[in-house]
Amino acid sequence: MQIGKAGNLVLPWGMPAAPPSASARREDRVALGLLVLLGVFHLWGATVAWRSLNLPGGEFRQAQTAISTFFIQQQNDFSLAYPTPVLGKPWSIPMEFPLYQWTVARLGTATGWELTQTGRAVSLACFYLTLPVIFLLLGRCGLSRLQRAVALGLVLTCPLYIFYARAFLIETMALMFSAWFLLAFLRAVEARSRRWLVLANLCGLGAGLVKVTTFMLFLLPAGLIAAAWLWRTRPARSRGVLTGWIAAATAVPFLATWWWIRFADAVKQLNPNARFLQSDHLTGFNFGTMANRFAADTWQQHWQHISQTVVWPPLLGCAVVLALTVSRRWWRPALLCLGCYLAVLVLFPTLYALHEYYAVANAVFLLAALGFALAGLLDSRLPRAVVAIVVLGVWAAQGLCYLRGLYPEQRGMSAGGSGLTAALRQITGPGEVLVVAGDDWSSITPFFARRRALMIRDGLQDQPEYLQAACATLADERVGAVVLQGPVRGSSQLRDRLQAAFALDPRAVFSWRDATVYVPVEQRQTVIRQLQHTSFNDVKLAEGAVLPPPGALGGEWRLLAELTPEAQANFSAMTPQPVGFFSSFGPSLELRAGEPWFNAHPTTRLRFQLAAGSHRLRMRVVIREEAYRGSFSASEPPTDGAILQLTVPEGGAQPRVLYERLLDPFRRSDDRGEQAIEVTFTLAKATAVDLFIGPGPQGRDTRDWIWLYGPLVIE
């Protein structure tokens, strides 16, 4: 092992570069100028369609990060159990420590910038703060400033780092912390520097908490170099001191990462819909299996990412030739970088095969290996003009790969989301919740609609136990719309279960491409009215989604405030009057011997808005004698009774039933004549209460001639 002048350890290859000559200084100035130009090119590419509000590239994950940030900012919720409201209550499913989300939320609040652009600005700033440490690490390997500039040029022209440097993702923040950790770790241990030791722990802390898989990647070179140090250190006492410094530089990040994983798992455990995201359930997905670690299709996907977003394939062949000829001096650091790049593909095969943006963490190692190969050109006796042409050609090839590949995907301008999300945002209130089935647990629809959501996970929508538990998390929440899309769009069984859980109108209100949308029964007419006056891309009113003729009161949910005074008079015997109602045949009121008789023929639903506290309902009901006395036939049977329910539609699998009774005067003599009903109940908060009168067990509404006799009072 080599020892510096101050007795400090140095990397186990090469020596620091000699002081630059006058010609080398001129080349350094040229290199600096070229880097500035490449930086301008990168900044141009990274800000293409900056004001567009779509999320190209890994939209599933970008939307998840964005929706957390949006609700952190809106609710001023900077707790560790931060909101990611896509799997029902409780709304938190923490994945990474929310340092990136907090930064974006704070910056957006302070500047007033639009959320998506703020997220891009933070990501881009983290990327640019990574470049200096790459420059310094390459210098510690012995590369001159010009050689380092050549390698950095590969990073600045890499399509992946242009496209994803501005994504609404944690990737560049994790890369920044991890790279600075590696440098600080080396400096702390080599120089026995307490200042660098503090920096190593702070950056390692940030890296491990923001994204542990990226941190693990940078621990590979740190671990290999530390192992080489330990192997070459003599005597044993010195090895013990070295071990102590290595442990001191990594202990805090390790402990913090372990703590965060345990904390996040405990929060996810509280949500029955989120337990599949606990670390022990994701082990197979995160680390893959021996079957897919070296599978041909896995490596085909890796190659697709490399060839399309990281490096122009012919450059890899050129790099191999250079490494075997003029660049043999740099084979050790090049091999270390290449090994780190490949090792993470073996360690996390599924993650890197499925997610293009994961390469933000390890592509820098492949590009560094290429940089070492090109460094040999600058050491060779080839004419400088030839070397310059080759280097400029490599940079140009990388830039063209971006322009031909990812640039067309990035340049499109969009208001964000789709006609579906725009319509959902219009027809629902900020405090309401969406229920979406057919899109797994994607955050895309909830984020662009700016609504919390319960995403019904794919493959589980036909399991009654799961569906009941999922819907139950929305107790005390108001569901504004239910979206069935893709393969579950035509599932009448799923629709019926969700209809029962959230008091939906069984008739769709609109469709969008492969999605159908349902709303609560009392909102149907309001939504139809809104959609008739506003156009959304690819949104079409469903067949039969029309407003009833003026004055028609039957077969539609109606709000009392929208009725004429004459129509409102039908409810004059009720105290308080309902805020809305549904009546299959329309409400009517008759006076008999001075008493009001309200026709409550099934199906009738009366909704009252009540304050928190204790209440008492008093009413009298009667089913006319003609419904159960006389001669009947198979074609004209007697009434099968009518059911009365008093419920609180508070969400969950079913509304909370306060009172229920079946009146069956044909079969039970006690149900004949006037029935006085009194119900006492308590409400924990102000809410709606429904009085429902429906058909009997056979579902027939023939001869169900039920009336509310006298006043109906809720005190």
515-560: pLDDT as tens digits? 999 998 888 888 998 999 899 999 999 998 888 777 778 888 888 9
Give the C-alpha separation, 215 to 223, whole Å.
Answer: 12
pLDDT at residue 14, as a whole number: 45
- Looking at residues 3-16, what average pLDDT do you find? 42
Tell me which of 281 and 448 has the higher pLDDT. 448
pLDDT at position 553 is 85
DSSP secondary structure letter of residue 520: B
Query: 557-629+636-714 maps to which CATH number?
Result: 2.60.120.340
pLDDT at position 10: 47
Position 6 confidence tier, pLDDT thresholds 50, 70, 90:
very low
Parallel, antiparallel, or unpaired for β 510-512 and 613-623?
A: unpaired
- Cβ neighbors of 407 (< 8 A, separation 6 or more) are 45, 48
598-655 pLDDT, tens digit per residue, is: 999 999 999 999 999 999 999 999 998 888 887 777 777 888 899 999 998 765 556 7
Q: For the residues 104-116, what does the mean pLDDT come to?
A: 97
Cβ of 532: how many Cβ atoms within 10 Å?
A: 12
Q: Does 4 have pLDDT greater than 50?
A: no
Residue type, 697: P
pTM summary value: 0.86
The answer, yes or no, to whether residue 295 has pLDDT greater than 50, is yes
C-alpha 632/C-alpha 627 separation (Å) is: 10
Q: Write down the pLDDT at residue 654.
A: 66
Q: What is the pLDDT of residue 233?
A: 81
Q: What pLDDT does 379 receive? A: 85
d(CA 504, CA 118): 38
Per residue in 32-59, pLDDT (tens digit) is 888 899 999 999 999 999 999 999 999 9
Domain range list for the chain = 22-293+383-409, 419-541, 557-629+636-714
pLDDT of residue 193: 94
- The pLDDT assigned to 12 comes to 46
The predicted-structure confidence for 482-527, as pLDDT tens digits, reads as follows 999 999 998 989 998 898 888 888 899 999 999 999 998 888 888 9
Among the residues of 76-193, which ranges form H helices? 99-111, 115-140, 145-156, 159-163, 171-191
| Residue 520 CA: distances (Å) to CA of 393, 491, 505, 570, 662 | 62, 18, 5, 24, 26
Helix, coil or strand: residue 518: strand
pLDDT in tens, 177-220: 999 999 999 999 999 999 999 999 999 999 999 999 999 999 99
